[in-house]
């Protein structure tokens, strides 16, 4: 529900940057009418100082606001202290609850809905544990629970949701191995929320007019028309494309955000596995962000994506001039390779990206020489289906150069041996 909203943000040693929390509040559908910031250590009662909380309360009256968003994670007691200090009927959201609200509103698949439910319950469990045994009676929140009954009840609900999640069909390791053997390479797009991952995925698949594995026809329109809706994608979408003869399964993943609440990260772990298990991760960053914010965002994502090859992308290059782009390039963490500058909406930089992704894939090459015959033709067709055939020549014998995943090349060698053995001639692999 949309509400007139006042923001409150505190950081310990620098002026708080409210851009992100504002974008989050707006993504949740709220109208931000005022903001109040403070630089100081955390106050145990409110997080911000008491005087600042009173200033926020005053601002709420003045602007007739109904909601306060605090850009930190509040403890249960801070949460209730805020509610007590504000005019009646005004609600409080901290960063966690706001992000959860957005996730809840966006969840459109059964998996995403259950994952959000799991995160909410886990958070509830932590809160209950925190207030367990305290004397204070928080509004509507029982604290006297000597038998631990409320905690048991939440745990039961967590088990129930977890069981339902476990029952959903998984893209398991077995499936992945089968697709690898069939010649598919896995590429994951990972990045901060709103960096342009979904736009890039659509462009990659559409530009090459390749088969779409299961996204609705309207989701591009939705993605492109709405400016800066955070956490647009909550479930993994996978599309197929062929680049330089290699067949890729490219997955979009849920976006990251600074301080993404731990319970949410846990709940969405299966989506993140997509990035961790990929052959190559394309790390998408929004080049139009200020350099410091961008570096921080890239680090946040890097921490989560595992140790495999990473191709960094500076997307939205259309929004910055060359000087700024160079500055951004230089500011990326040293551990990263040179980034690819790209515009997913304008379609620039795709050739570079494709080249870099293919170069990062696990690859082996082999040359085969085989006798003419039906079996060899079958072998040639198999190679085309499972990898990139860089050359085929039909001379005295058929000669073929294959470039593919090492496991595919291994299968090809076995098949070539069968062909030559069957033909009673010697083949060379």
Binding-site partner at residue 30 among Mg ion, ligand GTP, none, CB < 5 to 8 Å by type? none
CB atoms within 10 A of CB 126: 14
Question: Could you say whether residue 274 binds Mg ion (CB under 5 A)?
Answer: no
Residues 170 to 229 in contact with Mg ion, rule: CB under 5 A = 197-198
Task: Candidates 23, 33, 311, 344: give the one binding ligand GTP (CB under 6 A).
Answer: 344
Compute the distance between CA of residue 139 and CA of residue 124 in angstroms, rounded to an integer: 15
Residues touching ligand GTP: how many (CB under 6 A)? Answer: 24
Compute the distance between CA of residue 163 and CA of residue 176 in angstroms, rounded to an integer: 23
Interface map 243-272 toward ligand GTP (x if CB under 6 A): ------------x-----------------
Question: Could you say whether residue 236 binds Mg ion (CB under 5 A)?
Answer: no
Three-state DSSP string of the chain: CCCEEEEEEEECCCCCCCHHHHHHHHHCCCEEEEEEEEECCCECCCECCHHHHHHHHHHHHHHCCCEEEECCCCCHHHHHHHHHHCCCCCEEEEHHHHHHHHHHHHCCCHHHHHHHHHHHHHHHHHHHHHHCCCCCCECCECCCCCCCHHHHHHHHHHHHHHHHHHHCCCCCHHHHHHHHHCCEEEEEEEEECCCCHHHHHHHHHHHCCCCCCCCCCCHHHHHHHCCCCCCCCCCCEEEEEEECCEEEEEEECCCECCCCCHHHHHHCHHHHHHHHCCCEEEEEEECCCCHHHHHHHHHHHHCCCCCCCEEEEEECHHHCCHHHHHHHHHHCCCCCCCCEECECCCCECHHHHHHHHHHHCCCEEEEEEECCCHHHHHHHHHHHHHCEEEEEEECCCEEEEEEECHHHHHHHHHHHHHHHHHHCCCCEC
Task: Candidates 185, 232, 235, 263: give the one binding Mg ion (CB under 5 A).
Answer: 232
Question: Could you say whether residue 328 binds Mg ion (CB under 5 A)?
Answer: no
Binding-site partner at residue 343 among Mg ion, ligand GTP, none, CB < 5 to 8 Å by type? ligand GTP
Task: Candidates 315, 376, 411, 420: give the one binding ligand GTP (CB under 6 A).
Answer: 315
Q: Is 197 annotated as contributing to ligand binding? A: yes
Q: Which residue is nearest to ligand GTP (CB)?
A: 255
Binding-site partner at residue 227 among Mg ion, ligand GTP, none, CB < 5 to 8 Å by type? ligand GTP
Task: Candidates 78, 113, 236, 343: give the one binding ligand GTP (CB under 6 A).
Answer: 343
Binding-site partner at residue 319 among Mg ion, ligand GTP, none, CB < 5 to 8 Å by type? ligand GTP
Residues touching Mg ion: how many (CB under 5 A)? Answer: 4
* CB distance 201 to 252 below 8 Å: yes
Binding-site partner at residue 111 among ligand GTP, Mg ion, none, CB < 5 to 8 Å by type? none
Question: Could you say whether residue 404 binds ligand GTP (CB under 6 A)?
Answer: no
Task: Candidates 58, 206, 318, 375: give the one binding ligand GTP (CB under 6 A).
Answer: 318
Residue identified by tokens 């929390």 is 21
CB atoms within 10 A of CB 226: 10
Task: Candidates 319, 329, 397, 413: give the one binding ligand GTP (CB under 6 A).
Answer: 319
Task: Candidates 64, 135, 227, 307: give the one binding ligand GTP (CB under 6 A).
Answer: 227
Question: Could you say whether residue 223 binds ligand GTP (CB under 6 A)?
Answer: yes
Task: Give the shortest CB-240-to-ligand GTP separation in angstroms.
Answer: 18
Q: Is 344 annotated as contributing to ligand binding? A: yes
Supply angle C-alpha 240, 245, 249, rounded to 5: 20
- Choices 76-84, 132-140, 223-231, 329-337; region in contact with ligand GTP by CB under 6 A: 223-231
Nearer to Mg ion, 233 or 411 (CB): 233
Question: Could you say whether residue 233 binds Mg ion (CB under 5 A)?
Answer: yes
Sequence length of the chain is 429
Task: Give the shortest CB-386-to-ligand GTP separation in angstroms.
Answer: 31
Residues 133 to 192 in contact with ligand GTP, rule: CB under 6 A = 191
Q: Is 414 annotated as contributing to ligand binding? A: no
Q: Which residues are annotated as a binding site for GTP?
A: 191-198, 231-235, 252-255, 315-318, 343-345
List interacting residues with ligand GTP (CB under 6 A): 191, 193-199, 223-224, 227-228, 230-233, 255, 315-316, 318-319, 343-345
Q: Which residues are annotated as a binding site for Mg(2+)?
A: 198, 233
List interacting residues with Mg ion (CB under 5 A): 197-198, 232-233
């Amino acid at each position: 529900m949309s509400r007139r909203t006042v923001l409150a943000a505190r950081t310990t040693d620098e002026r708080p940057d409210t851009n992100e929390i504002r974008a989050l509040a707006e993504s949740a559908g709220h109208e931000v009418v005022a903001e109040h910031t403070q630089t100081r250590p955390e106050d145990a009662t409110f997080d911000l100082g008491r005087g600042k909380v009173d200033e926020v309360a005053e601002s709420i009256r003045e602007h007739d606001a109904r909601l306060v968003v605090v850009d930190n994670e509040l403890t249960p007691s801070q949460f209730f202290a805020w509610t007590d200090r504000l005019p009646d009927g005004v609600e409080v959201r901290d960063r966690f609850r706001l992000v959860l609200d957005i996730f809840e509103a966006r969840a459109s698949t059964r998996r995403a809905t259950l994952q959000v439910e799991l995160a909410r319950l886990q958070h509830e469990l932590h809160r209950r544990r925190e207030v367990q045994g305290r004397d204070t009676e928080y509004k509507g929140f029982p604290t006297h629970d000597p038998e631990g009954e409320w905690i048991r009840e939440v745990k039961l609900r967590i088990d129930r949701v977890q069981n339902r999640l476990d029952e959903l069909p998984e893209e398991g390791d077995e499936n992945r191995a089968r697709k690898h053997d069939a010649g598919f390479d896995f590429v994951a797009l990972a990045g901060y929320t709103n960096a342009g991952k979904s736009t890039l995925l659509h462009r990659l698949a559409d530009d090459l007019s390749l088969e779409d594995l299961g996204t609705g026809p309207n989701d591009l329109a939705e993605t492109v028309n709405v400016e800066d809706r955070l956490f647009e994608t909550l479930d993994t979408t996978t599309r197929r494309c062929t680049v330089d003869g290699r067949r890729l399964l490219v997955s979009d993943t849920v976006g990251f955000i600074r301080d993404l609440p731990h319970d949410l990260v846990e709940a969405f772990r299966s989506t993140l596995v997509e990035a961790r298990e990929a052959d190559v991760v394309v790390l998408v960053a929004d080049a139009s962000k200020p350099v410091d914010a961008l570096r921080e965002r890239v680090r946040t994502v890097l921490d989560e994506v595992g140790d495999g090859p990473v191709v960094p992308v500076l997307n939205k290059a259309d929004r910055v001039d060359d000087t700024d782009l160079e500055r951004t390039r230089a500011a990326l963490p040293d551990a990263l390779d040179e980034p690819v500058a790209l515009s997913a909406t304008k379609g620039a930089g795709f050739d570079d990206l494709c080249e870099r992704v293919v170069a990062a894939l696990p690859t082996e090459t082999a040359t085969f020489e085989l006798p003419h015959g039906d079996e060899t033709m079958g072998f040639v067709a198999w190679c085309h289906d499972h990898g990139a055939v860089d050359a085929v020549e039909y001379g005295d014998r058929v000669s073929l150069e294959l470039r593919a995943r090492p496991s595919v090349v291994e299968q090809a060698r076995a098949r070539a041996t069968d062909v030559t053995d069957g033909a009673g001639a010697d083949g060379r692999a």
